[in-house]
Amino acid sequence: MTHVIHLRNALFFCVPAAVFMQGCDLPKQDAPFQPMHAESYETDVLLEYGDGQSANLHLTRCGDALWDAEFTEPAALSGVVLTFDGDKVSANYKGLAFTVPKSALPAKNMLGIATEALDAADAAESLPCTQQEDGSWRYSGECAGGSYTLSFTGSGEPLVFDLPAQPLKLTFSGFTVTEQHAETTDTQTNVSAAETTSPETVSGTTAAETTVTTA
């Protein structure tokens, strides 16, 4: 009889505990996630930084460590184009261009920090990411500005870059891969050059016309 009572008491405490454990979410574990690998792409960006400041821009990745950022808003920045090429940054506004070393820019080189993180993600075969409830994947990393998170869609497209220490947040939308377009353009250029230098074409054009066609 005593054993029966003890067993009943054990069940009395264990059943609620089991129900409680089922209601608790276990910590999510990192899993290998492969970001989309694209030599070149473009995307619209909402840039939020500082104390409630924001800007809109169109970001284009032309290759590894080669980026163009064209601001569209606010009006004070509209038309400004920044080009990141390795350790150099050039700015262009209404035909006025200048180049400065990246090290000479302010420490809070917001776009430079973000593009370096995107380049690193593209170079990695996979990243340890945690899947979120909305289906996105989040990677946690470190950069010169501090700890950051980089979120991706389920298909591997960049979604949000967040660097709380600055603070800095980039939200991406309208992601479009342009690598295929670049390959098509190269093919057309090669065909045009071949046609220009063929015997039939050269014999029927002047030297000046041949040069223009090749370019």
**What tens digit of pLDDT does each residue of 163-195 get?**
999 899 999 999 999 865 444 334 333 333 334
How large is the average pLDDT for residues 18-38?
Answer: 68
Does pTM surpass 0.75? no
Sign of CA dihedral 135, 136, 139, 145: negative
Higher per-residue pLDDT: 26 or 134: 134
Angle at 53 between CA 175 and CA 110, to 5 degrees: 60
What gap in Å lies between CA 55 and CA 37, rounded to an integer? 27
What pLDDT is attached to residue 96?
Answer: 85
Backbone φ and ψ of 197, nearest 5°: -90, 0
Domains and CATH numbers, the chain: 31-179 (2.50.20.10)
Residue 103: pLDDT band (50, 70, 90) is low
What pLDDT is attached to residue 56?
Answer: 95
| Contact status, residue 112 vs residue 163, Cβ threshold 8 Å | no
| SS3 at position 78 | coil
